[in-house]
Structure 1
Amino acid sequence: MMAFSASQARQLKAKLAADHVKSRTENGATLNYIEGWHAISEANRIFGYDAWDRHTVSSRCVWTGSSGRYYMAAYTAKVRISVRAGDIVIVREGSGSGESRAVSPGQAHEIALKSAETDATKRALATFGNPFGLALYDPAQSGVRPSKKDADETSRSWCLRSANANPTSTFETPTDFAKALKEAMGAAPTIEALFEVWEQNLEAVRASIR
């Protein structure tokens, strides 16, 4: 028996919008991630503001130091996420780390601890699906939907995409594109496939009505 509603399950299976993906360079490598506020916002949107909780299971300062007028600290943390879905409570845990540099010891420890808790929260939420950053663990990032800018550029040629994001045909006008999209959605074998076709072409649809 599925704990989540059909709407929640559909949202958890949806692709992560590339507009929410950030990147940073660390040790010579480029890392993609979503920001903590976005992960929490998505949890509120999908689960409901009063249907999930976050609890810090443990935290530990693993390093502290100073350099000139600055104080530094590094923390690790473990966070537990509990989601109430009907009569079931789904529990996931994640671990994370955080570092900081500040002008006072208190600020350094506070910022590092919050950073570690946020990192752990994102890791725990990622186990629920692409909207929480799970798609970023896939090197091909097939679970990431193109950015609005890329979609707008694609939509100029009115490209119709299949459920697995492959271009199937292009059209000269938005009217022809809309007609083909309607036919493609009507031919979808399952409701899940129908929503996948819609998700893949959503930005082009938005561009067609601007």
Structure 2
Amino acid sequence: MRKWKAILTDLKKELNVDLVRTRKVGNTVIPYLEGDVVIQTANRIFGHDGWSVTPQGPVERFEVGIHTKNNKESVTFTYTIPVLCEFHGLLEDGAVHTIRKGDVGKNSTYSAALPEHEMAISGCATDALKRSMRHLGNQFGLTLYDKNSEDFQAVMAAANAGTGASTRKTSTKKKREPAKRKTSGTRKRRETTKAKKKKEEDTSELSPKEILDVMYDRAMAYKLPLAVRINGQDVKVPEGGKLISKAINSSIAINIFTWLAGLRNSPNNLAPYEPTTDEEQNLQNALRHILANTELSAQLTDEELAIVGGE
């Protein structure tokens, strides 16, 4: 953990505008720091063990309007999440000094595709982190909110010129690439088929943890926090997961339990849920909806998709 005096010295330094990126929203150019830059800056100033970020509630989803494109309408969803950041440093007497900064992040999508919703959820968490960090000053981009600041003016000038702050610096020296061999159409199709077959073989049977990863991603996207039991064994819901869209072993019985809000930070303490007949059917429909983008839903029979209230 770093000394607080050294931390304050670093926080007072000017922002390196070469780290700033820009994007166009309509006719407006918006400067911003990427999430990885903010994390690297926090690690540099506070040390890897000198700061943390904690969600202060679940991800919320709101329908905010209708998006029209090519005469097609789709619902626009906005995801939000509040977070709290804590920063620590050592005072001269050896005591630990802590400050806390929090904010709410948001991100939207009008796509019906599940991966887009997952990206929106991830984006709102990153936005919450960056908005919390900006309270610490210019090292975390606070100066970019002031259109009259020198940093803002420098970034806009570089963006208008198409150079500098709008992109990360990369080497202009091109690497020599080996000559590519020409491939016949038949060989290309054969190689594509082999690659596709190998990918299906690699994901045809997944472990209970990987199955939970699938369920967790869909649960987050549809605001259905879950804890589950697989083959009679309680398994903690992971904090994250990979999107898996291939077939998985259909011989697995899955029992669904509610993940109580009060136990959100203690997922080991799982309380079983005893549904009525109607609620049981709703849970079954919810699981099928969560797994709609996988082949599992079509593979499982009602008996195999065992959704009960406990054993």
Same fold (TM over 0.5): yes
Q: CA deviation at 1:7?
A: 2.2
Q: CA deviation at 1:90?
A: 0.9
Q: How many angstroms apart in 2 are the aligned matches of 1:35 and 1:63?
A: 27
5+ long unaligned stretches in structure 1: 151-210
Q: How many angstroms apart in 2 are the aligned matches of 1:135 and 1:21?
A: 11
Q: Is the 8 A contact 1:71 1:104 kept in 2?
A: no
Q: TM-score, normalised by structure 2?
A: 0.41
Q: Is the 8 A contact 2:4 2:97 kept in 1?
A: no
Q: TM-score, normalised by structure 1?
A: 0.59
For 1:119-198, what aligned pairs fall within 5 Å after superposition? 119-143=127-151
Q: Which has the higher strand share?
A: 1
Q: Percent identity over the alignment?
A: 27
Q: Which has the higher helix share?
A: 1
Q: Secondary structure at the match of 1:40?
A: helix
How many equivalent pairs are there?
A: 146
Distance 1:88 1:137, change over 3 A: same
Distance 1:146 1:72, change over 3 A: closer
Distance 1:25 1:144, change over 3 A: closer
Q: Please, which of 98, 106, 126 is the counterpart of residue 118 of structure 1?
A: 126
Distance 1:71 1:41, change over 3 A: farther
Q: Is the 8 A contact 2:17 2:151 kept in 1?
A: no
Give the alignment's Cα RMSD to 1 decimal. Answer: 3.1
For 1:66-85, what aligned pairs fall within 5 Å after superposition? 73-85=77-89
Q: Is the 8 A contact 1:4 1:85 kept in 2?
A: yes
Q: How many angstroms apart in 1 are the aligned matches of 2:149 and 2:3?
A: 25
Q: Is the 8 A contact 1:84 1:90 kept in 2?
A: yes
Distance 1:97 1:22, change over 3 A: same
Q: How many angstroms apart in 1 are the aligned matches of 2:129 and 2:10?
A: 19
